[in-house]
Structure 1
Amino acid sequence: MIEKLISVSLRNRFVVLLLAAIIFGFGIFAIQNNKIDAIPDLSENQVIVFTEWQGRSPQIIEDQVTYPLVTGLQGIPNVKYVRANSMFGMSFIYIIFKDGVDTYWARSRVLEKLSTVNASLPNGITPTLGPDGTGVGHVLWYTLETDGMDLGEQRATQDWYVKFALQNVEGVSEIASFGGFQKQYQITIDPNKLNYYKVGIKEVMDAVNSNNNEAGGRKFELSDMGYIIKTSGYLKSIQEIENIAIETKNSIPVRIKDVSQVQMAGEARLGIFDLNGNGEAVGGIVVMRTGENADEVINRVKLKMDEVAKGLPASMKFNIVYDRGKLIKESINSIKNTLIEEMVVVSIIVFIFLLHWRSAISIIIQIPITIAASFILLNAFGISSNIMSLTGIALAIGVIVDNGIIMSENAYKQLSIRQEELNLNFKSE
């Protein structure tokens, strides 16, 4: 079989060269379109369901939220297993699908199932899906550098300006904020005053909720002009909250400030983000969408940051603390240099041992053609150019040229023997 293949190739050299040129051309195209990353994505094909129920202990979360969700989500097609984790005020469900299942098909199936499971959860509890990223999707971390700006103001800038702008970048799944204080109005109730005025906590909550609302009216015409009636009732200051009337006692209103203290403060935190021991910092994590090109996503985010920076306060700027793009460039450059060095060394050794430049060239040509063809297979199987895949190609160069060296040396030897036989026959005649 091999002899027939060799003989056919020798008789059709032009066809072989043409096929090699076509493979090399498609390989160059595959190299240009291959996804680039520093590390391979070996994470499982999973969908995360996150449920928040503040103030509840892990046991209550486990019994009333996690257990109903786990039992309800186990009937989804192509699911390998379901994991769960309950903690204070939060529940995490990890639905692991079989390899090869489309991520967005899996997310849609989970959403369909959640619509039937919600009935078994406590009132006001709404499970949400996690971002469509993976465990290695954190491609960029940044902080906001300022000159003495309050941590609450920094977090507000991050949450209400920077986050929304960067989330619009193509390939970004989520911008996860960290650090600082999330501003909120806090009402600290005095139980003794509640008892004195004979008012319950539920009445205080209902009063605040009913007074923090807007309502629409109807449209009417006056002097050939149309007017829309609405009421503006959103709370905008501490004073407005303090003056909310809970109920009336003997024609005297009992206000929020009579039974509690209202203040602007930050939400309770379970930790802080410290940057290099220089104090707290506020920033965000760029989470890449599944299957995206990490290098391109990072470059697009950096370009968007330049636009967003124009709208930041004068004393604020971006500080990138983790950039996988640098690791990607260093990894790719290292592998490229290794490939070039190996090609040069192999070429020199082949030429020295064979002392036949045509045979050396035929072996050396195999290296770029085979490497280019390998990228066609990488794209076909959805494998990115990373440390593992490129290192494998670098290590395989020896195998690539090994068969060529053996075949060329054997052919060179057989030709020499044949030439000697012809010379002997010629002398004998």
Structure 2
Amino acid sequence: MIEQLIRFSLRNRFLVLLLAAGLFAWGVYSVQTSKIDAIPDLSENQVIVFTEWMGRSPQLMEDQITYPLVTNLQGLPQVKYVRGASMFGMSFVYVIFNDETDVYWARERVLERLNYAARLLPGGVNPTLGPDGTGVGHILWYTLEAPGMDLGEQRAIQDWYVKFGLQNVPGVAEIASFGGFQKQYQVTLDPNKLTYYGLSVPQVIGAIRTNNNEAGGRKFEMSGIGYIIKTTGYLQSVEQIQNIPLKTQNAVPVRIADVATVQMTGETRLGIFDQNGEGEVVGGIVVMRYGENADEVIGNVKRKMDEVAKGLPQGVKFNIVYDRSGLIQESVSSIKHTLIEEMIVVSLVVFIFLFHWRSALSIIIQIPITIATSFILLNAFGISSNIMSLTGLALAIGVIVDNGIIMAENAYKNLAIRQAELGRLAKAARPEPSGRASNNPHEASKMSSDPLTHQKP
């Protein structure tokens, strides 16, 4: 088989050169479109199910949320194992699939099973899927520099403006906000006053929920103009909440302000985000979607941040605190220089070893073609160009030229043997000169006894 391939290549040199040029051009294109990252993604193929039930203890979350979800998600196809973790008010279930399973197919199967498992959970509890990112998907962290602005306002800008702008970038799975205060209206009830007025906590909650609503009426026409009737009932200030009536006692309405204290405050926090010991900050984490090009996504996010920054309040700007693109560029640049240096060194060694420029050129030309072709396979299998894959290519340069050296040496040896055999055959077939005496005694006696062929001088 190998002999036939070599024979075919020798007889069709133009076709082989054309094929090599095509592979090299395709490889150069693959190098330009290859996914670039600093480190390989070795995380497990998992789907995260997150459930929030605030105010409940970890044991209650384990019994009512985590255990029913884990037991119902274990029967999914291509699942290796299911892990569960419970904490105060939150439950996490990690469904680990086989490595060859498509992540979006896995998310669909988990979502189908959650529709069935939701009936086993307490009322009002809705499990959700985590972002379609991986453990190394945190590619960029940023904070907001807003001198003179309180943390609540900064968090509002992050949640209601910046987050929505950056989530539209292709390849971004989620913008996770951190730091600051999430504003909320807080109603602190006085138990003694509730008892005095004969009210209960559900009555207060129902009154607030009923008065924080908007309803539509109907459409009517007058003078050829159509009007739509609606009521605007959303609460917009602390005073509106305080004036909500709860009941009427002796023709006097009992309001929220009579039994509770209403104030604007932040949601209860489980931690803070401090930067360099200089105080709390507000920002976000850019989570990359599974299988995307990290370097390209970071570049798109930065360009989008320049657009979003135009709409920020006066004096507010972005501050990038973690950017993987620097590590990516340094890693790829270091390996690129190593590849070039090794290609030069190997080329010199091959030339010195063979000391024949045509043979050395036929071997050296294999190096760029083979390296370019390897990127075709990297893209085909979805492997990014990272520090490990490029290091493997650098280590393989010496192996690439080994077969070429062996084939060249073998070809020269066979040519030398064949040339020597042809020389012997030519020498044996060449007739002896007439004026030269023969060293063979039998031949000499034969020549002397034959009068037709032998003539005396």
Q: If the length of structure 2 is used for normalisation, what is the TM-score? A: 0.90
Q: Deviations over 1:53-76 (max 9, x none)?
A: 000001111111111112222232
2:69 match: 69
Output aligned runs, 1:197-346, within 5 Å: 197-346=197-346
- Give the unaligned 5+ runs of structure 2: 431-457
The alpha carbon displacement at 1:117 in A equals 1.4
The alpha carbon displacement at 1:416 in A equals 4.8
2:12 match: 12
The alpha carbon displacement at 1:385 in A equals 0.8
Equivalent-residue separation in structure 2 for 1:405 and 1:423 (angstroms): 27
Query: Which has the higher Rg, Structure 1 or Structure 2?
Result: 2
The DSSP-based 3-state class of the residue aligned with 1:141 is strand
Equivalent-residue separation in structure 2 for 1:265 and 1:16 (angstroms): 75
Output aligned runs, 1:20-419, within 5 Å: 20-416=20-416
Equivalent-residue separation in structure 2 for 1:414 and 1:68 (angstroms): 74
* Count of residue pairs the alignment pairs up: 429
Q: Deviations over 1:102-131 (max 9, x none)?
A: 222221222222112111111111111111
The alpha carbon displacement at 1:422 in A equals 6.3
- Specify the code of the residue in structure 2 equivalent to 1:174: E
Q: Please give the root-mean-square deviation of Cα atoms over the aligned residues, in Å.
A: 1.8
The alpha carbon displacement at 1:29 in A equals 2.1
Equivalent-residue separation in structure 2 for 1:146 and 1:423 (angstroms): 91
- Specify the code of the residue in structure 1 equivalent to 2:51: T
The alpha carbon displacement at 1:160 in A equals 0.3
The DSSP-based 3-state class of the residue aligned with 2:132 is coil
Q: Deviations over 1:156-203 (max 9, x none)?
A: 000000000000111111100001111111111122222222211111
- Specify the code of the residue in structure 1 equivalent to 2:230: K
> Percent same amino acid at aligned positions?
73
The alpha carbon displacement at 1:88 in A equals 0.5
The DSSP-based 3-state class of the residue aligned with 2:396 is helix
The alpha carbon displacement at 1:365 in A equals 0.5
The DSSP-based 3-state class of the residue aligned with 2:341 is helix
2:433 match: none
Q: Deviations over 1:251-297 (max 9, x none)?
A: 22111111111111111111111111221111101111111111111
The DSSP-based 3-state class of the residue aligned with 2:401 is helix
The alpha carbon displacement at 1:362 in A equals 0.9
- Specify the code of the residue in structure 2 equivalent to 1:203: Q
Equivalent-residue separation in structure 2 for 1:417 and 1:75 (angstroms): 69
Q: If the length of structure 1 is used for normalisation, what is the TM-score? A: 0.96
- Specify the code of the residue in structure 2 equivalent to 1:131: P
- Specify the code of the residue in structure 2 equivalent to 1:93: V
Instruction: Return structure 1 stretches of 4+ with deviation > 6 angstroms.
Output: 420-429
The DSSP-based 3-state class of the residue aligned with 2:234 is coil
- Specify the code of the residue in structure 1 equivalent to 2:245: A
The DSSP-based 3-state class of the residue aligned with 1:261 is strand
The alpha carbon displacement at 1:420 in A equals 6.2
